[in-house]
Amino acid sequence: MAAHIFSTFPASMRSLLAFVPLSYVPALRNTCQVKGCFSWRKRFSTATSCTSVAQYDRLVQCGSLKEDALQRHILQPLEHLQKSLQNYNNNPYLNPPPIKIHPDCDKINQEENTPPPPPKGFYIYGDVGTGKTMLMDIFFSGVPSSRKKRVHFNGFMLDVHKRIHRRKQSLPKRKLGDMFTYDPISPVAMEISRETCLLCFDEFQVTDIADAVILKQLFEALFRTGVVVVTTSNRPPDDLYKNGLQRDTFLPFIAALKEYCHTICLDSGVDYRMQHKTKGGKLYYLTGEPDANAVLDAMFEELAFSQKSLTGPQVLTVLGREVTLEKTCGSIADCTFHELCGRSLGASDYLEMARLFDTVFIRHVPVLTLAMKDQVRRFTTLIDNFYDKKVRVVLQAAVPLEQLFVHTGGDDERDQQLLDDLGLSQEAAGRLALFTGEEETFAFHRTISRLTEMQAETYWLEGDRGIGKRRRHT
């Protein structure tokens, strides 16, 4: 029994559990030796003087990437922007020079006092697994600026909401009956603009009406103050917040995005995550498999053995709330699907989990239907954030991965209640993504692709945050 369980572990875990120093593993001595689409992450985690195209060619030559003509073609305009940003800062847009009036006339010379337009950014969109994030990261690593930021879109919007909340909290208390309006978004935009002149987002998506309302005013201010934006998305700009509530108020943001960013489509029709299924062990288990629970229990115990902690609950404090995970040990968490997605949790909770844990077990994932839209959204957000932070995931689900989401079963009681609250007809609901499940169906395609990559041996190796510590002691 023990031998059977041990044999199912990823090869990297087996070597760890057998107390083989990680420095012995060839893939860790030289990332270039790892063949596949994942090891590029390690190759430019810090700034490099290489141009984007040269960096890409180097990754292809060492086997970390498979050459793709479309990817390389898209890197050329990104490299041009990279060069434009060599000595760029947005101070002239933050602090415009005083207006000059010629002494011999009363006319203002506007051309003399207006800085040239800032460099245009890029909006890169396309299907899942085509290399959008990889291209953006190659570009980002080659920009030698201390005022650049690369962040997942979920994390960026959480930061914006926190800044808005802080500003509202800092306002003097109003007396009963006092009325005044306060706009926190413009000063928050100025804060970000003073900190950052290059902003790179991964997975630009808008599903929340509160974000849709904020984005127009926020980004108009960011663009006006010279912040250059490079972002990736699965949707073209015109499809952002498609069929969303009050979408008309969001449309001016799309116009501004297209004005300040070149739009590029990266849609080669190839999902590289699905092509590289090099598994070193089993990380996806079916609930009905014999000994499935015993295997996961043993895997958790073996990983916990190397932790300097006791197994027990852990309380996470997120935005003033307490979230309890019942079974954790150091950097490992053993959770159920209900624990992670059955409660009212969101991106902020999952980002905190990703900060604390490098390995998360998710047990008893059911077949997901449109009647479970809330749980589907949370699961998609969970995997997006775990993937972005390289958290390793071991899954136990009712069915194989490709059958996990069934696009049926909408119209639950809460949908009807929301329709009534909004005063909408069933006909109107049929056009809104909030009720149709269109957004969940679209996003889950990305979830399947990412979960496939997350089962690869190279992903497991790169997600081990203890590698550096162990190698220093060998």
pLDDT of residue 432: 47
Q: In this structure, what token pair is assigned to residue 331?
A: 């950097």
The stretch 413-434 carries a mean pLDDT of 48
pLDDT score for 18: 39
The β-bridge partners of 323 are 316
Decide: 441 and 410 in contact? Cβ < 8 Å: no
* Residue 88, pLDDT above cutoff 80: yes
Checking if the pLDDT of 98 tops 90, the result is no
Q: Nearest-5° angle of CA 54, CA 57, CA 62?
A: 125
The pTM score is: 0.71
Q: What is the pLDDT of residue 445?
A: 85
**Ramachandran quadrant class, 195 (left: phi over 0; alpha: psi -120 to 50; beta: rest):** alpha
Q: Which residues contact 71 (CB under 8 A, 6 or more apart)?
A: 56, 130, 131, 134, 135, 266, 268
Q: In what order do the strands lie in the sheet with 284-286?
A: 284-286, 392-397, 359-365, 332-336, 321-329, 312-318
Confidence of residue 10 (pLDDT cuts 50, 70, 90): low
Place of tokens 């203002």: 108
> What's the pLDDT score for residue 105?
55
What is the pLDDT at residue 416?
52
Task: Give the contacts of 219 (CB within 8 A, at least 6 positions apart).
Answer: 229, 253, 256, 257
The pair of three-digit structure tokens given for residue 453, joined into one six-digit string: 């990559």
In the chain, % of residues over pLDDT 90: 46
Task: Identify the band that residue 248 occupies on the pLDDT scale cut at 50, 70 and 90.
Answer: confident
Q: Quick one: pLDDT band at residue 38, thresholds 50, 70, 90?
A: very low
| pLDDT interval class at 31 (50, 70, 90) | very low
pLDDT at 43 over 50: yes
Domains of the chain: 40-265 (3.40.50.300), 278-472 (3.40.50)
pLDDT of residue 323: 96
Phi, psi (degrees; rounded to nearest 5) at 428: -65, -40
For 198-243, write each residue's pLDDT tens digit: 999 998 988 777 788 888 899 999 999 999 999 999 899 999 888 7
354-368, 380-394, 434-448: least confident range: 434-448
Quote the CA–CA distance of 385 and 391 in Å, as a whole number: 8
Q: Is pLDDT above 90 for 47?
A: no
Q: Among 116-125, 306-315, 383-392, 435-444, where is mean pLDDT lowest? A: 435-444
Among 60-64, 228-232, 407-411, 455-459, which is the least confidently predicted range?
Answer: 407-411
User: Does the structure show a pLDDT above 70 at 176?
Assistant: no
DSSP lists the bridge partners of residue 230 as 122, 200
Q: Which residues pair with 392 in a beta bridge?
A: 359
Q: Six-digit token pair at 34?
A: 């790892």
Q: What's the pLDDT band for 403 if we cut at 50, 70, 90? A: very high
Pair of tokens at residue 394: 């071991």
Average pLDDT, the chain: 80
Q: How confident is the model at residue 430 (pLDDT cuts 50, 70, 90)?
A: very low
Polymer length of the chain: 474
Which tokens hold the place of 431?
Answer: 């056009």
Q: Which tokens belong to 413?
A: 């009681």
CB atoms within 10 A of CB 9: 23
- Local confidence band at 406 (pLDDT 50, 70, 90 cut-offs): confident
